[in-house]
Amino acid sequence: MDALVVYESMYGNTKQIAEAVAEGLAGRLRVRVVEVGSAPSRVGPEIGLIVAGGPTHAFSMSRASTRESAAKAGKPLVSRGIGVREWLTTLRTPSAALESAAFDTRIAKPRMPGSAARGIAKRLRRLGVRAVAPAHSFYVIGGEGPLVEGELERARQWGESLAASFPVPAS
């Protein structure tokens, strides 16, 4: 079984988290990591797990307007086209069982409302995709990052825990 990790990233923080999650998954699953602009709109039956993530913008998944604001910060953007929100509106899944997990990056402030991960998880559920874990957040310092120390290791461990719910592939 394969896993597809799809990410949207403005300044590279969410991309780093996606890659670390993929490292954790790779112990048990074949993994492909793709930026959302290159993500397939139809997943084949070989995909058993979709892990999708993006930055939290204005308390939810990014929108065209919040991505435009991010572009005005002057730093080059990783994701220059569509976001996870738009990708999920085009996603078609196979009739076979497909499972998912959702994550986001967000500013490390106590009681910060909203979550892109919860929105992603909700939209995946609407598509009939079962969640294997609750939505998960990883933290950045300030709006542009960097990641809080230890977040890459935490993301790798989360990927391992997601993979542990799947059987070890036969050699």
Is 24 strand, coil or helix?
Answer: helix
Confidence class of residue 95 from pLDDT cuts 50, 70 and 90?
low
Confidence class of residue 74 from pLDDT cuts 50, 70 and 90?
confident
Amino acid letter, 27: G
Task: Give the per-residue SS3 of 67-127.
Answer: HHHHHCCCCCCCCCCCCHHHHHHHCECCCCCCEEEEEEEEECCCCCCCCHHHHHHHHHHHC
Question: Which is nearest to 61 in space by CA: 47, 39, 79?
Answer: 79
Domain borders along the chain are 2-163
What is the pTM assigned to this prediction? Answer: 0.94
Confidence class of residue 171 from pLDDT cuts 50, 70 and 90?
low
- Interatomic CA distance for residues 139 and 152, integer angstroms: 10
Give percent of the chain with pLDDT exceeding 90.
80
Confidence class of residue 169 from pLDDT cuts 50, 70 and 90?
low
Mean pLDDT to the nearest integer, 120-140: 96
Confidence class of residue 76 from pLDDT cuts 50, 70 and 90?
confident
Question: Which is nearest to 148 in space by CA: 138, 156, 157?
Answer: 138
Amino acid letter, 76: P
The answer for residues whose C-beta is within 8 angstroms of residue 109's C-beta and 6 or more apart is none
CATH topology of domain 2-163: Rossmann fold (3.40.50)
